[in-house]
Amino acid sequence: MQRRAFLHSLAAVGALGCLPAARALAASPMANSGEGAVSVDQLPKLEGDLTLYLGRGEGGLYENVLEAIKKRNPKLNLQIRRGVTAALANTIVAEAKAGVRRADVFWAVDSGAIGLVADAGLARSLPSDLIAQLKPGFRYPQWAPVTGRIRTVPYNTERLTAEQIPDSIMALADSNLSIGWAPAYAAFQSFVTAMRLLEGDKATGEWLRAVNQRAKNYAGELGVVMGVERGEVDVGLANHYYTLRLKSGKPDANVDLAFTRNDAGCLVNAGGILALSEGDLPINFIRYLLSREVQSYLASEAYEIPLVSGVKPPEGLVPLSSISPPKVDLTQLADLRPTLNLMRSVGVL
């Protein structure tokens, strides 16, 4: 599905049937049951003024979605404030303390930022029919996960097989494998926060020290995956979509994905959205992001995991049912300060 074709299709009234994902799901009983993916053709028109605070998206793909929604709803006056997700979350809380409400909806690429705003009591409760569209395990009363990402262990296929990768993230520290990581990257810090919650600060600090002795630092997790593919390191620590994107442009790339089990190494995190103001418009805007077309687009173009039932996962990714992620309330990843303090104390940052 090409970006320009998506924009045209989503924006054009009645033209959505031309999308492959829409055709594939058109006859699904979930389409009209309130459970699972719903087409934008079934959604109410968006009219009025709406201010969205938007965390950094994936290479402009979120912007494409918003542009398509605006074209389909010409009476929607959508104002967008863009910024780093964590900074926008802090801004929303600060504005509320000052008695000011500027944002109607907040689309964050990290669930920790969602938790920060929700914990401040600023998020509206979502209607039950909207929550029911989401997959079990991703249903929250005050925010809607939009897409997910899995923590993975990308490995160099010329050096290793999947069977040679430890299925415990803690055991990776005791292996003789060279490791690539991006400690300054927000996704990595959320992963360490999950490790702290699951394993405790002492074990997490020891893990960080051990890995740091032979890890190679990268600026971001795409760089980690590229370093693995080039053979600079044996394995890396990164979200799943960086490997899938690399392989989509280079099918013979010497990299594949391994998964740990029941620990932070296979955490399924999510970006999401919450409503901050009253009225139907913020809630109905959220419905568009959970629509079949938007979910399919983000899966095919961004390689993110659709979290609405009935939408195909990105090509090349194993089904969620085949992995064993830990049970973590994603909003508990909100407070990064103990994680950053720990990473600094052991010399990782």
Instruction: For residue range 260-292, list pLDDT tens digits in order.
Output: 999 999 999 999 999 999 999 999 999 999 999
Whether residues 73 and 89 fall in one domain: yes
Residues 65 and 103 in one domain: yes
**In a shared domain, residues 40 and 177:** no
Asked whether residue 53 carries a pLDDT value surpassing 60, the answer given is: yes
Instruction: Give yes or no: residues 45 and 101 share one domain.
Output: yes
Tell me if 290 sits within 8 A of 297, measured CB to CB: no
Whether residues 236 and 340 share a domain: the answer is yes
pLDDT tens digits for range 154-175: 999 999 999 999 999 999 999 9
pLDDT digits 0-9 by tens, 65-97: 999 999 999 999 999 999 988 889 999 999 999
Q: Are residues 141 and 166 in the same domain?
A: no
Query: Nearest to residue 80, comparing CAs of 105, 112, 109, 45?
Result: 105
Domain that holds residue 50: 3-148+270-319
Whether residues 229 and 303 share a domain: the answer is: no
**Residues 242 and 280 placed together within one structural domain of the fold:** no
Per-residue pLDDT tens over the stretch 200-237? 999 999 999 999 999 999 999 999 999 999 999 999 99
46 and 138, same structural domain?
yes
Torsion of CA 6, 252, 238, 292, to 10 degrees: 20
* CATH of residue 48: 3.40.190.10
Question: Are 210 and 155 members of one domain?
Answer: yes
Same domain, residue pair 310 and 333? no
What's residue 23's pLDDT? 31
- Average pLDDT in the 330-348 region? 90
Is the pLDDT score of 127 beyond 50?
yes
Which of 112 and 238 is assigned the larger pLDDT? 238
Total of domains in the chain: 2
In this structure, are residues 226 and 243 in contact, taking their beta carbons and an 8 Å threshold? no
Q: Do 336 and 197 fall into the same domain?
A: yes
